[in-house]
Amino acid sequence: MTTTAFSLSNEYLVAIQASARTESERFERALAFHRSNITTYRKKWEYSANSSATTATKTPSRSWPDVPPDDDLSFLSEDVKYCDRSPNFRSDKDYCARLRFRVASALLAQFDDSSQKTGLKMLRTLAENNYGDAMVFYGMCINDGRAAMEPNAEEAVSWFKRCSEIGHPQGQYELGVAFYMGEGVAEDEEEAVRQFKLAAEQQHPAASYMLGDCLLDGVGAEVDRAAALGWLVKAAELGHRGARSRVMAVLEKTDGDDYGIFTDASRQTLVEHITPTKLLRDKSSGSRDPTDLARRQTIVSNSRKE
């Protein structure tokens, strides 16, 4: 399915849902529509029912940022030197910033402390000069305690907020995760959904996945399973392997099968009679339910496995 075909199909789906009066009716129509395309999805996504994800080789698992291979580090480092020396390179600040970011990312992926600290220093300099990718990644490094730093979730969130304000999709996604998990900032499900939506609208696969999950469960927004399925399909179309499995679990659900407290084989969406509000923390006391915390960590982890 091409991007144009997907857009037209989505417009058709919106049209057939327009007369639906309830959330359940919209979902049933969306379910029927996507099930009519299940053969196309299965073929395009190279989906295998007995696989935890897909058998795809065209869309390997990836994470952000796209770290250059070790073999490229030496010549990329040489190119950075030319950026420092050449008037032509110096006039193209964005080119040099992109190049330094790639080198910094590669250095941070090394195993020795010296390389990691050099990479972190380069990254911080770029971040302090308002280079968006570096601002996000520096925040992620602070949050995780990379390069022998002490983890600092609050400082990380401050970087994510700056990135969100300039419209950086990865920054919006990371800020959404922080609000969703309550890490470095007070938990705010509605704000998490808002940030995920901002990033998803910029074609961010993991944010589309998280937005779909929140809408399925009614976390931070009213339950809207039709819209949720649409966002999960969107993430799948963008190459998110976890979303492909999640979509297929919903579409291949067999009525009458027992999935325990979950609605389908993905084991992520809760059945209707155990709502997130009941399972989660007691909002009045602020305490967190360990089961929910573990579940949220799993969902975030799955969203990052693109």
CA dihedral (198, 11, 9, 19) in degrees, to 10, reads 110
Rounded CA separation 249/284 (Å) = 35
Tokens of 3: 């991007």
Residue 291 lies inside a defined structural domain of this protein: yes
Highest mean pLDDT among 62-76, 196-210, 260-274 belongs to 196-210
Among 151, 186, 203, the domain-final residue is 151
Per the domain annotation, does 160 fall within a domain? no
pLDDT score recorded for residue 56: 40
3-state helix, strand, coil in the chain (%, to 5): 65, 0, 35
Q: How far apart are CA 276 and CA 264, in angstroms?
A: 16
Asked whether residue 26 is assigned to any structural domain, the reply reads yes
My answer on whether 142 and 73 are in the same domain is: yes
User: Does residue 17 surpass a pLDDT of 80?
Assistant: no
Binned at pLDDT 50, 70 and 90, residue 257 comes out as low
Is the confidence at residue 33, as pLDDT, over 80?
yes
Higher model confidence: residue 266 or residue 174? 174
Using pLDDT thresholds of 50, 70 and 90, give the confidence band for residue 102.
very high
Q: Which domain holds residue 90?
A: 68-151
Q: Is residue 9 situated within a structural domain?
A: yes
Q: What is the pLDDT of residue 20?
A: 74
Is residue 53 domain-shared with residue 10, that is, in the same domain? yes
Q: Is the pLDDT of residue 279 over 50?
A: no
Higher pLDDT, 151 or 91: 151
Residue 276 has pLDDT above 50, yes or no: no
Over range 189-211, report the average pLDDT. 97
**Percent of the chain having pLDDT more than 70?**
75
Using 50, 70 and 90 to split pLDDT, how confident is the model at 239?
very high
Q: Identify whether residues 74 and 44 lie together within a single domain.
A: no
Q: 139 with 252, same domain?
A: no
Q: What is the pLDDT of residue 63?
A: 78
pLDDT at residue 10, as a whole number: 63
Give yes or no: residues 16 and 32 share one domain. Answer: yes
Please indicate, yes or no, whether residues 75 and 187 belong to a single structural domain of this protein. no
Residue 161, both tokens: 């907020």
Same domain for 216 and 84: no
Predicted local distance difference test score (pLDDT) of residue 261: 52
Tell me: do 217 and 284 sit in the same domain: yes
pLDDT above 90 covers a percentage of the chain that reads 61
How many domains are contained in the chain?
2
pLDDT of residue 123: 97
- Does residue 170 fall inside a structural domain? no
Q: Are 205 and 175 in contact (CB under 8 A)?
A: no
107-135 pLDDT tens trace: 999 999 999 999 999 999 999 999 999 99
pLDDT computed for residue 90 by the predictor: 53
> Whole-model pTM?
0.84
Q: What is the pLDDT of residue 52?
A: 44
- 181 shares a domain with 57: yes
Positive/negative CA dihedral, 256, 257, 260, 262: negative
pLDDT at position 275 is 45
Residues 192 and 283 in one domain: yes
pLDDT of residue 124: 97
**pLDDT above 50: residue 60:** no
Task: Please report whether residue 47 resides in a domain.
Answer: yes
Residue pair 145/179 in contact by the 8 Å Cβ criterion? no
The pLDDT of residue 83 is 83
pLDDT the model gives residue 278? 42
User: In terms of domains, do 133 and 80 share one?
Assistant: yes
On whether residue 162 sits in a domain, the answer given is no
Residue 171 lies in a domain: no
Q: Report the mean per-residue pLDDT for the chain.
A: 83
* 14 plus 50 within the same structural domain: yes
